[in-house]
Chains A and B, each alone.
Chain A
Amino acid sequence: MKMTETILLDHGSGGRASQELIKNIFLPQLTNPVLDCLEDSALVDTAAGQLAFTTDSYVVDPIFFPGGDIGELAINGTINDLAMRGAKPLCLSLGLILEEGFALEDLKRVILSIQGACRQADVPVVTGDTKVVPKGKGDKIFINTSGIGLVERGIHISAKNARPGDVVILSGSMGDHGITILGQRAGISLQGSLRSDTMALHRLVQQMLAAAPGAVHTLRDPTRGGVATSLNEIAEAAQVAVELDETAIPVKPEVAAACEILGMDPLYLANEGKCLALVAREHAASLLALMRSLPEGAEAAIIGRVNEGPAGRVVLKTRAGGSRIVTSLTGEPLPRIC
C-alpha cells in the first residue's frame, strides 16, 4: 500500500493505518525482540523476574465526558495494558502536556480524578513531568502514562497463545466508551444516557489467573478499533480463526440505538473497561461464573470460539442467521476517542 506523505488522523485510529505506520516507520528502525512482539505491554526479563512495561498517550476530546474524563482514562488504560499480559501493576508515571490558557480549575479536576483512579486501583503515580505549549499548539491537555508491572512465574499471556477450541469471553457490554464520546461530539442525547465504561481490570485478571492457572491463553482490552480489530490481531498473531455469535455479544440498548442513529457498528467502537479473554474450553464455564461474580465482569458473556482456520479470519454469525467476515478497522472519520 502506498504511504501518504503526511500524517493523517487515520494514522492514530488504531486500525490499519496505525499498523502501517508501525510496520513501515517504527519497526524497521527500532527493531528488537521485545518490541517486535507488539503486545499491549512489553515483557522484559530481569534478575528479579519478568517485568511488564507499557506506555500510552491520551488526547481524548472532550476531556470530560459522561462516566469519566481524560485523567481517569489515562490511569485505567495503562493499568489495563499491563493487566492484559497478566502483570500485577506496580506503579505509573504521569506526563502532562498543557496548552497555555487551560483553566487551572479543569487541571485540578483532572488531577483529582487521577487521584481517585489511583486509589481505586491501588496503583500509585511515582514520577511525573509537565510541559506547557503556546496556545493553539496543543488542545487543552494531553496525558502520557507509563506503567510497570510484575508477571508472576508460570504466567504466559499472549495474543500468540490463542488456540483452536478456545472460548472467547467478553467481560461486559461492547461500545459504551466509543459511542459516548461520539454522542458527545455529535451532540445527541438519548434516554438511558450513555456512559463511558472506563475501569481498571487488573483485579479481575488476577482473580482469573489465580482460579485457573494456564487456562487463560490470551487477554486484550478492545480499545481503539474495538472488538473487531482486537480479534483480528489475535487471529493473525496466533494463526487461528475466530467465530463470533452476534446474538451472544452484549450491547446495551442505548448503545445499539445510538449506533443506529450514527451509522456505527459497535464491533468497531472503543471500550475502556472491557477485556477479551480467550480461554481453554474446559475452564470457560467456571471462569465466566467467576467474572460475573465480580463488578468488572458482571455482564461477561461467551461471544464466540476459536477454530483452526482459515488463519487470521474473524467471522460473525449474524442475528439473522447469515454469516459475514469481520475485518480490522481501516480508519474512519472518527473523533479522538482515548
Chain B
Amino acid sequence: MKYVSEFRDKKFIDPLVDELRKTIDRPLRIMEVCGTHTMAIFRHGLRSLMPEGLELISGPGCPVCVTSSAHIDGFIEVASREGVRVAIFGDLFRVPGSRGSLTKAQSMGAQVEVVYSPMDALTLAEKNPQQETVFLSVGFETTIPLVAATILEAGRRQLANFTVFSAHKTMPPALDALLGDPELRLDGLLCPGHVSTIIGAAAYEPLAANYHLSCVVAGFEPVDVLQAVIMLARQARNGRAEVENAYGRAVSWQGNLRAQQLMHDVFEPIDCQWRGLGTIPASGMAIRESFSRFDAEKRFGIRLTETPEPKGCLCGQILKGRKNPADCPLFAGRCTPLSPVGPCMVSSEGTCAAHYRYGRA
C-alpha cells in the first residue's frame, strides 16, 4: 500500500537497527506510553530486532485499559435501562467491571451497538427517536475533540434523545503522576503520536524539565518507532533530556489548537480514577454544566461506586511498567482475551493482550 509499506520495509529498517545498535552505549529503559505503539511494536516483530540492553516497557496509554471498573459498572447500568441503546467502540465490549461486561449485558438483552465514530451514535439517535441513545465514551485527547464536536452537533440538531457518558482522560496529568514514582527509573519516553497531534509536542516540555527525561513523539510505523528510539538513545548518550518530534508529518509543536479549543469548550478537567493507577487530579474530562443536557450520568442519575481491583490481578503494576504480564499469576491461565480478568488483557491494545497474542514464547 502506498505510503504505508515503505515505512515497514526491511530495506529501510535494517540500517535503522544498525544505527540503533551503534548508538546505545548502556542499558536503556524506555516506556512506550501508547497502546497503539505497544501493538505496533509487537505486530511488526520489532521486539525481535531491538538490541540487547534496550528494555521497552508498556505504559498506561490504552484508554480502555485504564477505564475504572466503576465506570464500566456505570456503563452497564445505563445499558440495562429500559428504552436505552448504547453505542460503543468495539474495544469496550468485553471489558470487565465488577459485575460482568457489556458483552454479558448484551446477552441479557441490553442493546449495544459497535460504532466507528461518535457521529454514528448521533445518527443512531436520530433514526430511533423513541429510544435514548447513549454514547459510552472512553478516550484520550485524540477522541475527546470528536466527541465535543458530536455534542455541539447534537445541540444544533436539537436532539433530545442523545447523551454521552464521559470516561475521558487526558495524558499529561497521568504521565506526571506516573513519573513521580521513583521506582520507575526511566531513560526515555516514547510519546504517543495520536494524542500529540492534538496536544502538540510542547505538552511534554514540563515533563522533560521536571523529571530530566528525554521525550520523543513517535509515529506508529516500524520506521517511525525505530527513528524515535534512536533519538532517545542519542539523548541518553549525550546526557540530554529534551522534547523532540519524530512524527513531524502528523504532529506540530503546538498541536491542533482548534481541536484543543473544541475540547475545552465542551469539557472541563475533573479528578478521575484510572484503573490500576488510582485517582489522578484533573486527569478526567467531564461535560460542562452548559451542556449537561447531553450528560448521560446526569440524565440517568448514575452514581459511580468504586470497587476494588480483582484479586491477584497485576494490571496496576503492569500499567506503571513495574511488572511484565508474564509476572502475573493469572496471565494466560485465568486471564485470556476471551475471559479477561484485568483491563490490560481486554483491549486489543492492552499490554497483556499484546503479549498474549504476539509475545508468548
Residues of A near any B CB (own CB < 8 A): 1-2, 4, 6-10, 16-17, 20, 186-188, 247, 253, 256-257, 260, 262-263, 265, 316-325, 327, 330-333, 335
Contacts and interface: CB of A to CB of B under 8 A. Distances in A.
A316 B120 CA distance: 36
B47 to A, nearest CB: 7
Contact of B10 (A4, A9, A321, A327): A321
A324 B5 contact: no
Contact of A325 (B10, B108, B339, B359): B359
A333 B114 contact: yes
A107 B91 CA distance: 35
Given A4-B104, A17-B338, A333 B44 contact: no
A281 B163 CA distance: 60
Given A330-B338, A331-B337, A321 B43 contact: no
Contacts of B338: 1, 10, 16-17, 20, 330-331
Contacts of A327: 356-358
Contact of A2 (B90, B334, B357): B334
Interface in B115-140: 116, 120
Given A260-B4, A335-B114, 19 more contacts: A1-B336, A2-B339, A4-B339, A8-B103, A8-B107, A16-B336, A16-B338, A20-B338, A257-B1, A317-B45, A319-B9, A320-B45, A321-B17, A322-B45, A324-B45, A327-B356, A330-B337, A333-B90, A333-B94
Contacts of A322: 44-49
A9 B129 CA distance: 27
A58 B260 CA distance: 47
B310 to A, nearest CB: 13
Given A256-B4, A324-B358, A330-B336, A316 B45 contact: yes
B222 interface: yes
Interface in B58-93: 90-91, 93
Contacts of B91: 333
A7 B103 CA distance: 10
Contacts of B93: 333
Contact of A320 (B49, B103, B356): B49
Contact of A319 (B8, B107, B120, B356): B8
Counting from the closest, the 5 A-B pairs by CB-CB distance are A322-B45, A333-B90, A318-B45, A321-B10, A320-B222
Contacts of B48: 322-324
Contacts of A260: 1, 4
A331 B14 CA distance: 35
B120 A187 contact: yes
A320 B46 contact: yes
B104 A324 contact: no
B38 interface: no
Interface string B1-35: 11011001110011001000000000000000000
A4 B94 CA distance: 12
Contact of A323 (B4, B45, B114): B45
B4 A320 contact: no
Contact of A262 (B10, B104, B107, B116): B116
A257 B348 CA distance: 19
B360 interface: yes
B1 A263 contact: no
Contacts of A262: 116
B42 interface: yes
A284 B336 CA distance: 38
Given A324-B43, A333-B90, A1 B116 contact: no
5 contacts: A2-B339, A16-B336, A319-B44, A320-B46, A322-B46
A2 B108 CA distance: 19
Contacts of A331: 337-338
Contact of B103 (A10, A316, A318): A10
Given A10-B103, A325-B358, A320 B10 contact: yes
A319 B103 contact: no
B13 to A, nearest CB: 5
A6 B100 CA distance: 12
A313 to B, nearest CB: 10
Nearest to A10: B338
A256 B358 CA distance: 20
B116 A253 contact: no
A304 B352 CA distance: 28
A4 B46 CA distance: 36
Interface in B308-361: 334, 336-339, 348, 356-360
A252 to B, nearest CB: 9
B25 to A, nearest CB: 23
